[in-house]
Structure 1
Amino acid sequence: MPQTDQPRSRRRRRPLRWAAGFLVLVAVAGYFFVQRESNGGGGTPYCTATVNAMGGAKGGTDQNYEMSPEQAANAATIAAVGVSKGMPDRAVTIALATAMQESMLHNLDHGDRDSLGLFQQRPSQGWGTPAQIMDPVYSAGIFYDRLDEVKGYSRMPLTVAAQKVQLSAFPQAYAKHEPDATVLTTAFTGGGHLTCTGPAPVQAGDPAKVRSELSRLVGKDGPHTLPAAPGGTAGAAADGTARESEVTLVAKGGDGETARRSGQVLAQWAVANSRELGIARVSYSLSSWTAGADGDRWRSKGGTGGGYGGGDPHDAPPGQIRIFVRG
């Protein structure tokens, strides 16, 4: 074939390659869409943080941020540690945006040089041992400790505050995550909620493990406490096929803002960790969440029965978080 014909032949083949590649992408996207829509039958699980439209105004649009259960669990841990330390929402947003940039909310066992974990902290730079840094509770805690040392951080642009802690080579990169980090913060601590969809857990959970993880989050001086003894057995699940063990947290300070904020983030943390810990349902304040049921949404209390206020027997009274672990 003459050399002058070769470029023309290549040009004819390129559109075919692009078309084939496009069809593959469409097929993959369609597959995941079908999987998502069929979650009730065992599709791919995912979590959504939702912030309600301003004031519930008619025509308002909710804000959402979607992620995997692993990412949701890590994000909820970051938020819960911040609240347990008494850090304001601005600090939680800075921490979440930082982790979104550094690891996309994955607890990485690798990184640039010796960087590790959610925040890509370096043992050689005094952040802790590798084992400590790979513990999300520890890594979030030390991030907040160093952020708290930055005078006036809450009034700084997010990129400036994060950079004073992280000393990143790309400080402006944190800015693009601020809107999503704000949605997550509000969902975890204020006017929103987290839902995780997918089939209900099949494997039994371990109430002792749930209590242990919660104890690490609330700490000795936190606004919530765990009773000295496990919550016992709550009886059969709604479908009568399984028993559930209960783990209950009780607010120390009544129904004040500190206790409310703590209760909100711990309830969302339980939902985020439901698949990993075998949590079947969570009840807090005026609503409850049940794994694998009714679209996995938070539902307002109501109806008749033997529960608090005449509702479901799993309802939580004011100041309590009730977490039911599959038996």
Structure 2
Amino acid sequence: MMPGSGPDMYQTDWAPRRRRKGRRRAKRTGRTVALLVAVSAVGAAVGGVIAVGGTGLPGTAPVTVDAAVQQRQIVPEAASRGRVRVSPAPSASSKAASTKSAQVTKSPAKPQPPEPVTGLSQAQMNNAAVIVRVAQKRKLPRRAMLVAMMTGLQESSLRNLANPTVAGSLSLPHEDSGDNFDSLGVFQQRPSQGWGSVKELMTPSYAAGAFYEKLVEIDDWESKDLGEAAQAVQRSGVPDGYDKHEDRAAEVVDALL
């Protein structure tokens, strides 16, 4: 350049260019640094490693995910921290409810008929058992049972007797029949004398109950002889007929108690 020839055209063109180029490079460098910081933060969050190329930009190396994270996602946690789960024991209330349900569904056992004593049939022994059972329900003593048993042995031989002269009696359950006036059942009680209806007197449990009601109405029945107590109830035409059955009555009653 010659002295005094004016401004240097190269100096004028290049100086500003160098300044602008420097600013662009600084701006680009700042963006690159910010990008690297963001990528590094993401890589740290997922537990991976990101490879960076030599040019200062992120490379194409794959991200390695933390193996512990993968295991938690794939393998479920063992039940009860590795222990075998045990079903809880049933509570007392559930046991009681189960027991109660079993008792409800279980059908009750049928009572067995009493074994007959020598000389009596099963039907006769069944009627004798009814006589004892009715006395027990009324809380009457053994003496009352003996009086009633002696009466049944004398009047019907402990059989539930129908009567052909009494309408409807033969259609009811019975073991045999008799025709003494309108007498019915084990105790030969008469509907016409106010003892009860035909159906009632042909039911041994009712007939026994009716006998005991009359017996306890006698003031001194417990101090009377057994035969006398029976006659006081029955008012039979054969008043001495009951005494001969005392031993047999005791045998039957004792077999049922």
Q: What is the TM-score normalised by the length of structure 1? A: 0.39
Q: What is the TM-score normalised by the length of structure 2? A: 0.49
Q: Whose relative contact order is higher, 1 or 2, with alpha carbons under 8 Å and at least 6 apart?
A: 1
The structure where helix makes up a greater share of residues is: 2
